Amino acid sequence: MNYREYAPSAEYLHLLSRPMWTSLSGRLAAVLAGVDPAGGVVVEFGAGTGLGTDVLLDTVPDAPVLAAEPSPELRAVLLARLAARPDADRVTVYPAGAADLPLPDRIAAAVGMHMIGHLAPGDRRALFTALVPRLAPGAPVVFNVQPPETAVEVPESEPFAVRAGRLRYEGRGRAEPVGPDRLRWTMTYRTLDGDAEITTAVTHYDWWTVSATTLAAELRAAGASSVDIDGDLVAARG
Ligand SMILES: C[S@@+](CC[C@H](N)C(=O)[O-])C[C@H]1O[C@@H](n2cnc3c(N)ncnc32)[C@H](O)[C@@H]1O
C-alpha cells in the first residue's frame, strides 16, 4: 500500500483539525458513553493524527483500540502522539484503509470521523455489511458527513489559519464535480512568517458525497438495530 494523498498536508493536518474537534470530542464521547469494554475491540477508521483516538481512549476505559490509518505521514504523527499517553499499549495502529483492515470478530464500538467520503459507495456499503454483524449487542458505530451532500462546485474557501510559535499555518480548499456523486478537492496550504510565505503545499483528493440520511439507510440495510442522526453525526447500534 502506498497511500500518499495526505503527504503534502501532513505537516498542517493536526494543527488545522484541532479546532474542529472542540465541540466534536464531546459529541462523540456522548455517543460512546456506556460502551461495554468487554464487548470487544474499539475500531477507528482513518484515525489521522489521533484526535478521535484520544476521545476513544478517554471515553472507553480498558478496551483494546484498533486505529487504522493508511497514510504513512499521518501514522507517524499518530504513533508519536500515542507514545506520549500512559495507556499507549492499548492501541494498535494498523497501516490500512477501511477496505483493507482485517476486522476483529467482536467490536465494542467503531468510529470514522471526516473520512467516509474517501470510500466509494460500493466499498462503503461493503464495509457496513462486514462491520454491523460484528458489533456487540447495542454497540455504537459512528460516522460523520461533511458538506456538500451532492457533487456541486465549491468555490475556494477563505483561508483558515492557526498560529504555532511565530509562524501562521493556513489552509484553504475548493472542489469540482468529477462524477454524479464525486468531488475532486484541491487543498492549498501555506506557512507564513508575518506576510512572508515561507513554504506552500497543494494536494488533491477525490471525495464521494453522501448525506446523513443515505448513510443511515445503508447502516440500517446492513442490519443495525437503530440509527440516530444528530446533525452531521450518524450513530447506529448493533
Ligand atoms: C480529513 S482526515 C480525518 C482524520 C481524523 N479522523 C480526524 O477527524 O481528525 C481523513 C483521514 O481518512 C484517511 N483515509 C483516506 N482514505 C481512506 C480509506 N480508504 N479508508 C480509511 N481512511 C482513509 C486519511 O488518511 C486521513 O487520515
Let me know whether 95 and 110 are in one domain: yes
* Inter-axis angle of helices 212-221 and 121-131, nearest 10: 50
Closest CA to 145 of 97, 208, 81: 208
pLDDT value of position 162 = 98
Instruction: Output the pLDDT for position 1.
Output: 61
Residues 22 and 112 in one domain: yes
Kindly state whether residues 17 and 106 are assigned to the same domain: yes
Residues 195 and 88 in one domain: no
From the CA of 97, give the closest atom in ligand 1.
20
Q: What span, in angstroms and rounded, lies between the C-alpha atoms of 17 and 86?
A: 23
With respect to residue 108, please indicate whether it lies within any of the assigned structural domains.
yes
Interval between CA 189 and ligand 1 midpoint (Å): 18
CATH number at residue 167: 2.20.130
Q: Is 174 exposed, middle or buried, given 0-12, 13-18 or 19+ CB atoms closer than 10 A?
A: middle
Q: How many structural domains comprise the chain?
A: 2
118 CA from centroid of ligand 1 (Å): 7
Same domain, 168 and 102: no
Q: Does residue 155 sit within a domain?
A: no
Residue ranges in the chain whose pLDDT is less than 70: 1
Is the entire prediction scored with pTM above 0.85? yes
154 lies in some domain = no
Sign of torsion over alpha carbons 65, 204, 2, 211: positive
Q: Is 3 part of a structural domain of the chain?
A: no
Helix (H, G, I), strand (E, B) or coil at 84: coil
Regarding whether 85 and 193 lie in a shared domain, the answer is: no
C-alpha to C-alpha distance for 99 and 126, rounded to whole angstroms: 8
Task: Answer yes or no: is the C-beta of 119 below 6 A from any ligand 1 atom.
Answer: yes
- Out of 115, 144, 187, 208, give the residue to mutate to test ligand 1, the one with the largest number of ligand atoms within 8 Å of its CB: 115
User: Looking at the domain assignment, is residue 70 inside a domain?
Assistant: yes
Look up the domain containing 233 and give its range: 10-145+211-237
Q: Let me know whether 220 and 204 are in one domain.
A: no
In this structure, are 81 and 130 located in the same domain? Answer: yes
Say which residues have a Cβ less than 8 Å from residue 99's Cβ, sequence separation at least 6.
119, 123, 126, 127
Residue 127 Cβ inside 6 Å of ligand 1? The answer reads no
Please count the CA atoms within 13 angstroms of the CA of 129 that sit on its side-chain side. Answer: 7
- CA of 61 from ligand 1 middle (Å) equals 24
pLDDT of residue 2: 81
> Does 94 lie in the same domain as 79?
yes
Same domain assignment for residues 28 and 64: yes
Cα-based angle 144, 238, 97 (whole degrees, multiple of 5): 50
Tell me the per-residue pLDDT of 192-227, one tens digit each, with 9 for 90 and over.
Answer: 999 999 999 999 999 999 999 999 999 999 999 999
Separation between Cα atoms, residue 14 and residue 39, nearest integer Å: 30
Do residue 177 and residue 64 come from a single domain? no
* 150 falls within a domain: no
**Cα(36) to centroid(ligand 1), Å:** 26
CATH number, domain of 227, equals 3.40.50.150
124 in contact with ligand 1, CB cutoff 6 A: no
The alpha carbon of 197 and the centre of ligand 1 are apart by a number of angstroms equal to: 28
> Does residue 2 form part of some domain?
no
Co-location of 89 and 122 in the same domain: yes
Q: How many angstroms separate the alpha carbon of residue 73 from the centre of ligand 1?
A: 12
Task: Specify if 4 maps to a domain.
Answer: no
